[in-house]
């Protein structure tokens, strides 16, 4: 499993995305007391998911 690292801020593009309210609530509760923003958390979560998909794809080949 990949460890969470505080991300460096790359060049970004704004995207609108809708989240279920329960997901927002859960993420926000995890972030209480941290310096991490909601956006940074979501970006890192997507990066980890993409890495997992690559690993699974490599295992299937």
Question: For the segment 36-48, what is each residue's pLDDT rounded down to a tens digit?
Answer: 999 999 999 999 9
pLDDT at 25: 97
Print burial letters for 18-54: b (CB count within 10 Å at least 16), e (below 16). eeeeeeeeeeeeeeeeeeeeeeebeebeeeeeeeeee
- Asked if residue 51 is part of any domain, the answer here is yes
- Asked if residue 33 is part of any domain, the answer here is yes
- Asked if residue 13 is part of any domain, the answer here is no
- Asked if residue 36 is part of any domain, the answer here is yes
- Asked if residue 14 is part of any domain, the answer here is no
Q: What is the pLDDT of residues 10-31, one digit of tens each?
A: 788 999 999 999 999 999 999 9
What is the value of pTM for the model shown? 0.75
* Residue 55: half-sphere exposure toward Cβ, Cα within 13 Å: 8
- Asked if residue 55 is part of any domain, the answer here is yes
Note down the domain range covering 37.
21-60
Residues 6+ apart with CB under 8 A from 25: none
pLDDT at 33: 95
Overall domain count for the chain:
1
- Asked if residue 16 is part of any domain, the answer here is no
């Amino acid at each position: 499993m990949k460890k969470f690292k505080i991300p460096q801020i790359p060049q970004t593009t704004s995207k609108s995305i809708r989240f279920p309210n329960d997901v927002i609530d859960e993420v926000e509760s995890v972030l209480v007391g941290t310096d991490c923003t909601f956006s940074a958390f979501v970006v890192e979560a997507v990066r980890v998911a993409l890495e997992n998909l690559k690993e699974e794809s490599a295992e299937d080949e």
